[in-house]
Amino acid sequence: MVDNNTVMKAGRCIECGAKETDGFSCYDLFGFPLVWEHNDPKLYALHFWLVSCYMIQHPSNYTAEGYKHLVNLFIDAYDNDWDSAYILKKNRLIVKSAGKIANQIPNLERKRELRLWSMTIEDIYLGGEKSAIANINKWKYQIRNALILNGFHFEIMK
Within a domain: 155: no
Q: Tell me whether residue 2 is in a domain.
A: no
Answer yes or no: is 157 within a domain: no
Does any domain span residue 54? Answer: yes
Helical ranges in the chain per DSSP H? 26-36, 41-44, 47-56, 64-79, 84-98, 121-127, 132-149
Q: 92: domain range?
A: 26-106+118-149
Say if 48 falls within a structural domain: yes
pLDDT tens by residue, 28-83: 999 999 999 999 999 999 999 999 999 999 999 988 888 989 999 999 999 999 99
Cα–Cα dist 54/135, whole Å = 13
Is the pLDDT score of 154 beyond 50? no
> Is the residue at 14 inside a domain?
no
In tens, the pLDDT along 88-144 reads 999 888 877 767 788 888 887 888 988 889 999 999 999 999 999 999 999 999 999
| 55 lies in some domain | yes
Tell me how far apart the alpha carbons of residues 133 and 43 are, in angstroms, rounded to a whole number. Answer: 6
Total structural domains in the chain?
Answer: 1
Q: Is the pLDDT of residue 157 over 70?
A: no
pTM confidence score: 0.89
Q: Which of 2-6, 121-125, 151-155 is predicted most confidently?
A: 121-125
Q: Is 52 a member of any domain?
A: yes
pLDDT for 116: 86
